[in-house]
Amino acid sequence: MGYYEDNQTKDNKYHFKVINYRKAITAIRALDYEITSEEMARKIPRVGKKIAQKIGECVSLGRIKKLDHLDWDQERLKVETLFRSVYGVGAEKALEWYNKGLRTLDDLRKLPDLTKNQISGLHYYDDLQKRIPRAEVEEIGKVVESAAKKLHPDIQSQVTGSYRRGKPDCGDIDIVVARPDIDTGEELFLIMEHILNELIIQGFLVDHLSLPTWSDDMANAPKHFKYMGICKLPGKGSVHRHIDILVVPWIHLGAALLYFTGNDICNRSMRLLAANRGMRLSDKGLFTGVMRGPKRKRLNEGTWVAGRTEREIFDYLGINYLEPFEREC
Ligand code: DCP
Ligand code: MG
Ligand code: MN
């Protein structure tokens, strides 16, 4: 994505450090040779001086000096990572529980004040840790597609997320649903309701993490509905999987596909690029005439100019189209 990276003053240094590390990791993963020195690391695009130094330490000393002081809280790191791997648990909660002396998932299971999602996250923990092979993602995609097409044969259902980027296995299944020329909340909510009912009756959806909500003011405006839940293919021994289903207005389909295909860093880069050109990119589309005040705070909504298709958005931004498999940033 080098050609539309922007060097802005960053508000949150730590946050962008994480992104820089992830970019370097992606670049290193793509190499087909071993890095044996700092100099070699330095030559890799997107590996900066500091990261190259650390790689140098790693290959020559077998450790990174800056991390030496962390030895004392290795246990805390391990426990916090374990807790955060439970669906519905964030960094703050993990630390709070660690400080309370909790150490294992069974400790968490005894807590009286878990949220509904944390209970589900713990209940399906082992299954949700397992990666989903592409073939199974496809099969799950077809189950949702058939449920949607039962309501109307025109309805389109596409698997996005890491699957669409071509990953060999995925963390969850992300599906975007739309119907040609259908844009209003009322009709879209009906599509969502129908799909969910159908999949619940089939026994395919077994638990809900987040259900879309309805209010009357949504009826006539374009509206996105998101469902998050746990699904399971029929048959003994099939694994519980996390599934996200998005029902979106036809006019926003391109923007929704772009957003939901990711990856998150690619989304961030494109949003930053749009912002630097006085525009705004969201899962609803590209907006122009966006005014920003201090700290880039947005002062108005802007005018929607593109988003029916992904290409339209790339074109309007003036950048080359990236195939989904090229969006691994
Ligand atoms: N997304 C984003 N920012 C987030 C979360 C998600 O931009 N904080 C977008 C980009 C993701 C897409 O939504 O690619 C789907 O989110 P997932 O969490 O399902 O991520 P992936 O499908 O990319 O990876 P995984 O295989 O882990 O599901
Ligand atoms: Mg995903
Ligand atoms: Mn997802």
pLDDT of residue 72: 64
Query: Topology of 132-248 in CATH?
Result: Beta Polymerase; domain 2 (3.30.460)
Cα 36 to middle of ligand 3, angstroms: 36
Query: Topology of 74-123 in CATH?
Result: DNA polymerase; domain 1 (1.10.150)
Residue 316 CA to residue 153 CA, distance in Å, equals: 32
Domain with CATH 1.10.150.110 in the chain: 2-67
Q: Average pLDDT for residues 178-194, to the nearest whole number?
A: 98
More confident residue, 323 or 1: 323
- Provide the angle, in degrees to the nearest 10, between the axes of the packed helices 264-276 and 253-261: 130
pLDDT of residue 14: 76
User: Token pair of 176, please?
Assistant: 């975007």
Domain with CATH 3.30.460.10 in the chain: 132-248
Q: Average pLDDT for residues 214-242, to the nearest whole number?
A: 96
Residue nearest ligand 1's atom 28 by CA = 171
pLDDT of 5 over the 70 cut? no
Residue 209 CA to residue 243 CA, distance in Å, equals: 9
Closest CA to 268 of 256, 282, 255, 284: 282
pLDDT of 150 over the 80 cut? yes
Pairing of strands 173-178, 241-247: parallel
For 123-144, the three-class secondary structure string (H helix, E strand, C coil) is: HCHHHHHCCEEHHHHHHHHHHH
Cα 164 to middle of ligand 3, angstroms: 12
pLDDT of residue 15: 79
Active site residues: 54
pLDDT of 7 over the 60 cut? no
Give the model confidence (pLDDT) of 244-267 as tens digits: 999 999 999 999 999 999 999 999
Ligand nearest the Cα of residue 210 is 3
- Sign of the alpha-carbon dihedral angle for 234, 231, 192, 208: positive
pLDDT of residue 13: 62
The band of 210, judged by pLDDT with boundaries at 50, 70 and 90, is: very high
Residue nearest ligand 1's atom 12 by CA = 260
pLDDT of 3 over the 50 cut? no
CB-side neighbour CA atoms (13 Å) of 244: 19
3-state secondary structure of 228: strand
pLDDT of 10 over the 60 cut? no
* Residue 159 backbone dihedrals phi, psi, to 5 degrees: -85, 130
pLDDT of residue 295: 82
End-to-end Cα spacing for the chain:
6
Cα 62 to middle of ligand 1, angstroms: 33
More confident residue, 13 or 199: 199
Closest CA to 122 of 87, 84, 80: 87
- Pair 191, 182: CB distance under 8 Å: yes
- Pair 141, 159: CB distance under 8 Å: yes
Residue nearest ligand 1's atom 27 by CA = 171
Q: For a pocket test of ligand 1, which of 164, 267, 270 has the largest count of ligand atoms closer than 8 A to its C-beta?
A: 267
Range scoring the smallest mean pLDDT among 51-60, 203-212, 222-231: 51-60
Q: Average pLDDT for residues 58-80, to the nearest whole number?
A: 83
Residue 63 CA to residue 56 CA, distance in Å, equals: 9
Ligand nearest the Cα of residue 168 is 1
* Residue 150 backbone dihedrals phi, psi, to 5 degrees: -65, -35
* H or E stretch at 105: helix 105-109
Q: Average pLDDT for residues 52-78, to the nearest whole number?
A: 85
| CB contact burial 64-81 (16+ within 10 A = b; e otherwise) | eeeeeeeeeeeeeeebbe
* H or E stretch at 150: helix 134-151
Judged by phi (left if over 0) then psi (alpha if -120 to 50, else beta), residue 192 lies in alpha
Residue type, 47: V
pTM for the model stands at: 0.87
pLDDT of residue 63: 86
- Pair 283, 224: CB distance under 8 Å: yes
Give the model confidence (pLDDT) of 275-319 as tens digits: 989 999 999 999 999 988 888 788 999 999 999 999 999 999 999
Ligand nearest the Cα of residue 165 is 1
Cα 173 to middle of ligand 1, angstroms: 10
The band of 126, judged by pLDDT with boundaries at 50, 70 and 90, is: very high
- Sign of the alpha-carbon dihedral angle for 329, 6, 305, 280: positive
Other CB atoms within 10 Å distance of the CB of residue 45: 8
Query: Topology of 263-326 in CATH?
Result: Beta Polymerase; domain 3 (3.30.210)
pLDDT of 9 over the 60 cut? no
pLDDT of 163 over the 90 cut? yes
CATH of the structural domain 2-67, one choice from 1.10.150.110, 3.40.50.720, 3.40.50.2300, 1.10.10.60: 1.10.150.110
Considering the chain, what is the average pLDDT of its residues? 93
pLDDT of residue 6: 41
* Residue 228 backbone dihedrals phi, psi, to 5 degrees: -130, 130
Any atom of ligand 1 within 6 Å of the Cβ of 269: no
